[in-house]
A and B are shown apart, each in its own frame.
Chain A
């Protein structure tokens, strides 16, 4: 335990493919400008859906469904590996943790559009493409990974949870490097399903604002290279940040209803802080789940007040979902990248579309415009259908010693 606790886990590479473009610099630019990249979905017919808009990746042709989520995963992971000054094959003691909400559903959903009780054979490519685990395996083969490979699917907390699994493996000394990549592609089925659940707004995502009415989805992938301090010290690489702790739990109430959520979000935040040995007073900034849900944003606000106490009112909080949409399996990792960029650039990115304050959501949500700030400790929250909550604590490079 003590050895596992002592071993530091560092962020040394980042990569992202989203509606904001296919590089970390393009992502940073969109966050800084606070401009929404949500657009009309071109990849498939959205007739009959609640909203035909989303954060669609245009750099990969939108109509390209075959292996779409896997393409995103590979592009993001390659960026992160290059950013970490690594090249394949990675050392034997390396691993991959992938996260996805819907796997290759965009590729495989064609199988469901036809009447499957008819005896026509299924296209093997559709079924193979539906796989949740294939992108992680393809990536492991491409990078010459020799250690553990896993895929996590925990709704919208998948990304944060995957970072947690990788964090465990490194601090336990199992591997020295882990490529963590979260991915998902927009699909008709997902928009129909979440539309039927009334999760999707008919207009814009307005996290924490009085007129918020739901979320919009995005697609893409985000990747982070995590490694041990000893491993990073072996080459000339910038230490971008440190992962200090995480927590994943469940409200254990109902799969889609949200009673008791505020309390369990607070518990997940506290689990992460406890593991990080960071007191709530030390938290400089919170990257919220902030999906724009009427009840969800209120629950998260209450949870932040529970954990931070009076300091909640002095702690800036943002949600970047209105800029790129909810990337689903990749979102927690994309938001963690935004936290690292905030630390590096000394800038808090804004919660855009915030035009009407809600008396019940009365914290500092960094409305509409960037703000300069020195951030040493960031807390990232995720919540999802299925009652799952996850939090992760990130520390800036400056808080590290001996680097």
Chain B
């Protein structure tokens, strides 16, 4: 068994790409949720879009017909490798390198294009490229191919838990030394079907049709989600491998816990307790809890109830980073880890963006307005799916 460290962070998000942009937004409390172009306003008024993303800036060779979700993952993977000063193509044993990259909806936008192209061609022509780009594992496969990652390979599509689950699978494989280096994370791209679909399901904030007040995690006035998109890919390696190449870790993954239950608050509490127990960490020693509150009337409350159940009287700052990016579904857990590690590197606990007034019955210390100083480690990350599936991951940050 070896320790598992994070040595590179790749973020493609509505608040910017790469660590510098992201840190500036987190420090300034600036959301990436913006009005969408007039032509798309019939879908939603505001969303966390990744604007002007150009994959050619990240890869040596141009790629054609890459779905946006895969493009985000490729860009994030390229940034993680650059950040970690590592090129897997020079690794002697490519079978010890792998990729674990998930997505909730995969290349749904490509599936739209697959049908659209055929309609425009008079029902005779199917372009297979758009079909394969729609696969949920397209991002994972393309990242493997780009950097010659021949070893462990896994793509989860587990709703909101996709991101943390992907990091957890990579953690297990590295800890057991089934691999030495893994690019792990998750990606999600907005598409017309996704925007229309979530709206039809009635989970979006009525304020989505205008005004940034629409996304207010944990806030008294929260009334639904605002969708976002993006990807986070982390360069994860065994501590031994990182030491050998003299890489400076940003963090160390300590463990994970998971649960399912119709009572979501209790289920999340169980997932957190399992995670803490496996890593032998007391709740009071946590330095920061990064929740997944997405301005959902019920789930946000259940989340702080679970935190309260775990923390009791321990004073630990809690924030959700969804206000910066919008609700990115499958990518959320991975993005939370990436964003928080960027923040923690500067000993900063980023506040919950767009939170103004917390509810009276919320007894945990929700951080809002200005950043706080990170006083302790590790950081606990959680995601809760509306179904009742919950995931928790524990990461110890290393200051810069």
Contact = CB atoms under 8 A, between A and B. Distances in A.
B196 A112 contact: no
Given A133-B385, A155-B135, A250 B153 contact: yes
Interface string A125-143: 0111011111011101100
B197 A127 contact: yes
A264 B165 CA distance: 25
Contacts of B127: 196
A111 B193 contact: yes
Interface in B374-400: 385, 387-389, 391
Given A124-B201, A255-B132, A388 B112 contact: no
Contact of A116 (B128, B192, B199): B192
Given A4-B176, A146-B261, A252-B144, A137 B388 contact: yes
A188 to B, nearest CB: 10
B131 A137 contact: no
Contacts of B157: 100, 103, 132-133, 151-153
Contact of A112 (B115, B126, B258, B388): B115
A246 B1 CA distance: 19
A150 B104 CA distance: 11
Contacts of A189: 111, 114-115, 131
B206 interface: no
- Among B116, B148, B177, B258, the most chain A Cβ lie within 10 Å of the Cβ of B258
A293 to B, nearest CB: 15
Interface in A182-230: 189, 192-197
A386 B137 contact: yes
A119 B42 contact: yes
A323 interface: no
B128 A197 contact: yes
A250 B99 contact: yes
B119 A152 contact: no
B154 A152 contact: yes
A70 B300 CA distance: 28
B346 to A, nearest CB: 33
A147 B259 contact: yes
Contacts of B197: 111, 122, 124, 126-128, 130
Interface in A150-165: 150-155, 161, 165
A62 to B, nearest CB: 22
Interface in B124-171: 124, 126-128, 131-132, 134-138, 140-142, 144-145, 147-159, 161, 165, 169
Interface string A219-251: 000000000000000000000000000001111
A402 interface: no
A48 interface: yes
A172 interface: yes
Interface string B97-112: 0110000111010011
B209 interface: no
A359 interface: no
A252 B94 contact: yes
A354 to B, nearest CB: 29
Contact of B152 (A113, A122, A141, A248): A248
Contact of A196 (B128, B192, B385): B128
Contacts of B262: 141
Interface in A256-305: 256, 264, 267, 271, 275
B38 interface: no
Contacts of A146: 259-261, 267, 270
Given A146-B260, A195-B126, A249 B95 contact: yes
A122 B259 contact: no
A403 interface: no
Contact of B154 (A113, A145, A165): A165
A100 B155 CA distance: 11
A149 B389 contact: yes
A350 interface: no
B115 A153 contact: no
A153 B260 contact: no
A122 B197 CA distance: 6
A91 interface: no
B98 A149 contact: no
A276 B262 CA distance: 37
Given A137-B389, A193-B128, A149 B135 contact: no
Contacts of A117: 116, 192
Contact of A193 (B131, B154, B169, B198): B131
B159 A153 contact: no
Contacts of A132: 104-106, 136, 157-158
Contacts of B201: 124, 127-128
B158 A149 contact: yes
- Among B131, B141, B197, the most chain A Cβ lie within 10 Å of the Cβ of B141
B142 A148 contact: no
- Among A116, A126, A253, A264, the most chain B Cβ lie within 10 Å of the Cβ of A116
A387 interface: yes
- Among B42, B94, B126, B260, the most chain A Cβ lie within 10 Å of the Cβ of B260
B123 interface: yes
B385 A148 contact: no
Nearest to B192: A116
Contacts of A48: 123-124
- Among A123, A147, A148, A264, the most chain B Cβ lie within 10 Å of the Cβ of A148
Contacts of B258: 95, 147-149, 174
B396 to A, nearest CB: 21
Contacts of B147: 252
Contact of A250 (B124, B141, B385): B141
A381 to B, nearest CB: 15
Given A137-B388, A151-B156, 5 more contacts: A112-B193, A147-B260, A252-B144, A252-B145, A253-B145
Interface of A: 1, 4, 48, 95-96, 100-101, 103, 105, 111-113, 115-117, 119, 121-124, 126-128, 130-134, 136-138, 140-141, 145-155, 161, 165, 168, 172, 174, 189, 192-197, 248-256, 264, 267, 271, 275, 385-388
Closest 8 CB pairs of A and B: A127-B197, A193-B131, A148-B258, A137-B387, A153-B136, A196-B128, A196-B126, A124-B200
Interface of B: 1, 42, 94-95, 98-99, 104-106, 108, 111-112, 114-116, 118-119, 123-124, 126-128, 131-132, 134-138, 140-142, 144-145, 147-159, 161, 165, 169, 172, 176-178, 192-193, 196-202, 258-262, 267, 270, 385, 387-389, 391
19 contacts: A111-B193, A113-B115, A137-B388, A146-B260, A146-B270, A148-B258, A149-B158, A150-B156, A150-B165, A152-B155, A155-B137, A189-B114, A248-B154, A249-B150, A250-B98, A255-B138, A385-B132, A386-B137, A388-B137
